[in-house]
């Protein structure tokens, strides 16, 4: 038996085990041990010496943890965990008064989401290092992170939408961030029978305009589609710029037991949307303004998040805009849809398909011109499969999901069921190489691999199951990423590293693009927070009824004031803490005994506010949580809480107190003389 036959038969046995749901056999993949290359060689390729930087920033979604993990590649070192949709007790995101509004939605305060697909802003089809967008699946939202501060700056809710999964995909100059929903729902929402699914439900696709100066998003229009499940998307590029492609499964329009009912047909569709056509139709007034309530949360210049409420959206129906949508038949319940760097090939990952279909954009254009239609579905023209297909990758493996490109004419597809990455050629659609993943790979990522000019070098596999790969940690095991070298003809596994949450997609850019542009601190002089105290003389405690504002400063190594009296049980005490430092990487923390929310982590020059409602009398310590200096442990204070209605006067120990006292004395004297 030749080496490849041995590999194939071992491989087939492994597949059988995996498909039958048997425990993943540790032996699977051993046939590929040689693929590791020399361990020393692999170690050298991912070794980033102490004090040296990684070559790429990689942004991995946190999945059900609602956040973004920033990792260095090739080392796999975790650099930052950026809170997005989920509250983060670590720094007060979503707890502090300045950031709470970021969680506002039309459903109320929603402090969690399921974040899947990070997308770097692009200019001319390549990352421009400005922003990162990511979707919230469960309560449909799109967030924008700023890459100078590595903080979330904006969250836009998407109305008429559910299961915001084919989201957020950017057009090649970030003209639009595009989103579709996995779940069709009645739009607008209303009380209807689920049996009315086919008539009453819609799959809504959203196009939000991105302001090229500020990055701010605004919903431009929505497209009302048949009630399929819109799973993933990618925009065209180069010749196909102006189009967006969405996979849809459940064209059967099942509304129960989808594992059976949505797997009836041989082919579902890729929906090809001509968004330039949509723009024209909207300009011609063909979209209908419909009421829709949604939140748009933005952090202002003053560092404070505010919500603007949207009240309507423009909705376009394909019937009113001929040429807007075409369906490309695609086997079988397709998941990923990816466009190659040239913009010509549209690759689908049919989870249940035995091949990878590759559509051609130019053939699609010709098929539209020739009216090569196989029929219509909900009035939308369905193109003939043979008329758009460029080729099929035969026997790629089982369970194709997602494809990325190396810019050298090759595609890499993740195979969930057979746990492998398959490399194939865009020239003849022949499989060139395959490498096992451990185990059940979902997405994969090549730096720049979804853009016009991939950086190549590595492919990162993001795996769902790790079983025997790491020290066991009780019922829940880590998900993991695996890094492969793709600079040669054959993939070489270099590194396993665990990830936070469940990474779905990731994107990466060269570190050199943004590393020297990082904000080092907030400018104290231009701090516009209404409760800032820019120096210690300006600190004070003010009572307004049962609300108490404490304007406090922190600097190595004390708070001012650090001795406060005259607080009463049931007061709402707002600690507005300004970090006076003007030095890189000197945050101070703030925590108070018994607080029902979280700590604050305040960056240099910034003001953050925590509300505290003491429920019983006593003397409460507060302290700095971030080890900021040799005297960090000394960075503490006390606040006295008296009974409701107590005669204990408000009193604090900063320079302003005496001035306030004098001021009161003068006022009292004036009052007496009247």
**Interface positions with ligand RUQ (CB under 6 A):** 116-117, 165, 335, 401-402, 442-443, 504
Q: Is 627 in the site for ligand CUA (CB under 6 A)?
A: yes
Tokens read off for 55 = 């070559």
C-beta of 241 vs 443, nearer to ligand RUQ:
443
Cα–Cα distance for residue pair 416/442, rounded to 1 Å: 6
Stretch that binds ligand CUA, among 242-250, 285-293, 493-501, 627-635 (CB under 6 A): 627-635
Identify the burial level of 200 via C-beta atoms within 10 angstroms of its C-beta, where 0-12 means exposed, 13-18 middle and 19 or more buried. middle
C-beta of 165 vs 588, nearer to ligand CUA:
588
443 binds, among ligand CUA, ligand RUQ, none (CB under 5 to 8 A by kind): ligand RUQ
Cα–Cα distance for residue pair 143/105, rounded to 1 Å: 13
Cα 622–Cα 625–Cα 627 angle in degrees, nearest 5: 130
434 binds, among ligand CUA, ligand RUQ, none (CB under 5 to 8 A by kind): none
Tokens read off for 551 = 């304007």
Q: Supply φ then ψ for residue 233, to 5 degrees.
A: -155, 160
Cα–Cα distance for residue pair 490/99, rounded to 1 Å: 47
C-beta of 60 vs 282, nearer to ligand RUQ:
60
Identify the burial level of 89 via C-beta atoms within 10 angstroms of its C-beta, where 0-12 means exposed, 13-18 middle and 19 or more buried. middle
166 binds, among ligand CUA, ligand RUQ, none (CB under 5 to 8 A by kind): none
Question: Rounded to the nearest whole angstrom, what is the least distance from the CB of residue 460 to ligand RUQ in the complex?
Answer: 13
627 binds, among ligand CUA, ligand RUQ, none (CB under 5 to 8 A by kind): ligand CUA
588 binds, among ligand CUA, ligand RUQ, none (CB under 5 to 8 A by kind): ligand CUA
Question: Rounded to the nearest whole angstrom, what is the least distance from the CB of residue 563 to ligand CUA in the complex?
Answer: 17
Radius of gyration of the chain (CA): 28
Question: Rounded to the nearest whole angstrom, what is the least distance from the CB of residue 217 to ligand CUA in the complex?
Answer: 36
C-beta of 321 vs 445, nearer to ligand RUQ:
445
Cα–Cα distance for residue pair 533/541, rounded to 1 Å: 11
Cα–Cα distance for residue pair 607/66, rounded to 1 Å: 25
Q: Which of 173, 315, 194, 163 is nearest to 257 (CA)?
A: 194
Question: Rounded to the nearest whole angstrom, what is the least distance from the CB of residue 116 to ligand RUQ in the complex?
Answer: 4
C-beta of 142 vs 624, nearer to ligand CUA:
624
Cα–Cα distance for residue pair 291/106, rounded to 1 Å: 13
C-beta of 100 vs 117, nearer to ligand RUQ:
117
C-beta of 113 vs 626, nearer to ligand CUA:
626
401 binds, among ligand CUA, ligand RUQ, none (CB under 5 to 8 A by kind): ligand RUQ
Question: Rounded to the nearest whole angstrom, what is the least distance from the CB of residue 621 to ligand CUA in the complex?
Answer: 14
Residues forming a β-bridge with 607: 578
Identify the burial level of 199 via C-beta atoms within 10 angstroms of its C-beta, where 0-12 means exposed, 13-18 middle and 19 or more buried. exposed
272 binds, among ligand RUQ, ligand CUA, none (CB under 5 to 8 A by kind): none
Q: Is the link from the previous residue into 168 a cis peptide, with omega within 30 of 0? A: yes
Give the contacts of 43 (CB within 8 A, at least 6 positions apart).
none
Give the contacts of 93 (CB within 8 A, at least 6 positions apart).
83, 87, 99, 102, 152
Do residues 68 and 88 touch, judged by C-beta distance below 8 A?
no
Strands 151-157 and 288-299: antiparallel
Question: Rounded to the nearest whole angstrom, what is the least distance from the CB of residue 626 to ligand CUA in the complex?
Answer: 5
Q: Is the link from the previous residue into 280 a cis peptide, with omega within 30 of 0? A: no
Question: Rounded to the nearest whole angstrom, what is the least distance from the CB of residue 463 to ligand RUQ in the complex?
Answer: 10
Cα–Cα distance for residue pair 534/54, rounded to 1 Å: 37
Q: Is 635 in the site for ligand CUA (CB under 6 A)?
A: yes
Do residues 324 and 381 touch, judged by C-beta distance below 8 A?
no
Among 147, 187, 628, 641, binds ligand CUA (CB under 6 A): 628
86 binds, among ligand RUQ, ligand CUA, none (CB under 5 to 8 A by kind): none
**Looking at residue 256, what DSSP letter applies?**
S
Stretch that binds ligand CUA, among 2-10, 626-634, 637-645, 651-659 (CB under 6 A): 626-634
Residues forming a β-bridge with 337: 348
Question: Rounded to the nearest whole angstrom, what is the least distance from the CB of residue 305 to ligand CUA in the complex?
Answer: 25
534 binds, among ligand RUQ, ligand CUA, none (CB under 5 to 8 A by kind): none
C-beta of 152 vs 606, nearer to ligand CUA:
606
Q: Supply φ then ψ for residue 392, to 5 degrees.
A: -130, 135
Question: Rounded to the nearest whole angstrom, what is the least distance from the CB of residue 482 to ligand RUQ in the complex?
Answer: 14
Query: What number of chain residues touch ligand CUA (CB under 6 A)?
Result: 8
Cα–Cα distance for residue pair 231/223, rounded to 1 Å: 15
492 binds, among ligand RUQ, ligand CUA, none (CB under 5 to 8 A by kind): none
- Contact track, ligand CUA, 586-625, x by CB under 6 A: --x-----------------------------------x-
Stretch that binds ligand CUA, among 14-22, 386-394, 628-636, 641-649 (CB under 6 A): 628-636
Question: Rounded to the nearest whole angstrom, what is the least distance from the CB of residue 631 to ligand CUA in the complex?
Answer: 8
Give the contacts of 407 (CB within 8 A, at least 6 positions apart).
341, 448, 449, 453, 454, 455, 456
Q: Is 632 in the site for ligand CUA (CB under 6 A)?
A: yes
C-beta of 452 vs 588, nearer to ligand CUA:
588
Question: Rounded to the nearest whole angstrom, what is the least distance from the CB of residue 497 to ligand RUQ in the complex?
Answer: 18
Binding site for ligand CUA (CB under 6 A): 554, 588, 624, 626-628, 632, 635
């Amino acid at each position: 038996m030749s080496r490849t036959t041995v590999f194939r038969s071992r491989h087939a046995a492994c597949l059988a085990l995996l498909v039958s749901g048997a425990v993943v056999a540790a032996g699977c993949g051993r046939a590929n041990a040689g693929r590791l290359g020399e361990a020393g060689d692999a170690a050298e390729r991912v070794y980033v010496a102490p004090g040296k930087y990684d070559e790429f920033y990689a942004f991995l979604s946190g999945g059900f943890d609602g956040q973004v993990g920033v990792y260095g590649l090739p080392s796999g070192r975790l650099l930052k965990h950026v809170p997005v949709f989920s509250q983060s007790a670590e720094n007060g995101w979503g707890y502090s008064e300045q950031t709470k509004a970021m969680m506002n939605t039309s459903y109320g305060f929603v402090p969690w989401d399921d974040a899947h697909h990070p997308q770097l802003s692009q200019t001319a089809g390549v990352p421009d290092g400005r922003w990162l967008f990511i979707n919230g699946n469960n309560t449909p939202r799109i967030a924008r992170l700023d890459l100078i501060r590595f903080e979330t700056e904006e969250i836009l809710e998407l109305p008429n939408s559910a299961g915001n999964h084919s989201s957020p995909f950017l057009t090649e100059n970030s003209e639009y961030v595009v989103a579709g929903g996995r779940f069709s729902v009645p739009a607008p929402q209303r009380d209807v029978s689920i049996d009315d699914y086919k008539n009453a439900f819609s799959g809504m696709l959203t196009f939000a305009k991105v302001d090229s100066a500020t990055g701010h998003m605004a919903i431009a229009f929505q497209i009302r589609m048949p009630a399929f499940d819109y799973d993933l998307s990618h925009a065209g590029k180069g010749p196909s710029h102006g189009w967006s492609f969405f996979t849809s499964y459940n064209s059967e329009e099942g509304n129960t037991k989808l594992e059976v009912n949505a797997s009836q047909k041989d082919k579902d569709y890729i929906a090809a949307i001509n968004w330039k056509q949509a723009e024209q139709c909207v300009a011609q007034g063909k979209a209908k303004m419909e009421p829709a309530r949604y939140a748009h949360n933005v952090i202002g210049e003053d560092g404070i998040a505010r919500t603007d409420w949207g009240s309507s959206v423009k909705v376009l129906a394909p019937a009113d805009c001929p040429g807007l949508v075409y369906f490309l038949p695609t086997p079988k319940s397709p998941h990923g849809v990816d466009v190659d760097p040239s913009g010509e090939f549209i690759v689908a990952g049919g989870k249940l398909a035995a091949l990878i279909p590759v559509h051609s954009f130019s053939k699609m254009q010709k098929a539209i011109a020739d009216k090569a239609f196989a029929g219509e579905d909900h009035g939308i023209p369905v193109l003939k499969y043979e008329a758009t297909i460029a080729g099929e990758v035969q026997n790629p493996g089982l369970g194709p999901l997602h494809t990325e490109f190396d810019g050298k004419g090759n595609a890499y597809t993740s195979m969930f069921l057979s746990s492998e990455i398959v490399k194939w050629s865009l020239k003849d659609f022949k499989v060139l190489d395959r490498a096992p993943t451990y185990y059940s790979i979902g997405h994969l990522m090549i730096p720049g691999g979804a853009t016009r000019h991939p950086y190549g070098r590595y492919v990162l596999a993001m795996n769902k199951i790790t079983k025997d790969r790491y020290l066991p940690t009780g019922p829940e095991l880590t998900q993991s990423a695996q890094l492969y070298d793709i600079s040669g003809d054959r993939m070489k596994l270099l590194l396993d590293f665990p990830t936070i949450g469940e990474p779905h997609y990731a994107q990466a850019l060269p570190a050199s693009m943004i590393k020297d542009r990082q904000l080092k601190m907030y400018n104290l002089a231009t701090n516009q927070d209404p409760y800032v105290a820019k120096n210690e003389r300006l600190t004070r405690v003010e009572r307004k009824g049962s609300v108490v504002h404490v304007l406090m400063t922190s600097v190595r190594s004390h708070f001012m004031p650090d001795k406060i009296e005259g607080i009463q049980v049931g007061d709402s005490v707002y600690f507005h803490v300004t970090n006076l430092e003007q030095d890189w990487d000197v945050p101070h923390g703030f925590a108070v005994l018994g607080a029902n929310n979280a700590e604050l982590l305040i960056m240099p020059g910034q003001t953050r506010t925590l509300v505290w409602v003491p429920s019983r009398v006593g003397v409460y310590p507060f302290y700095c949580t971030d080890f900021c200096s040799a005297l960090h442990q000394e960075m503490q204070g006390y606040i006295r809480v008296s009974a409701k209605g107590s005669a204990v006067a408000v009193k604090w120990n900063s320079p302003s107190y005496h001035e306030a006292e004098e001021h009161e004395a003068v006022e009292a004297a004036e009052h007496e003389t009247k």
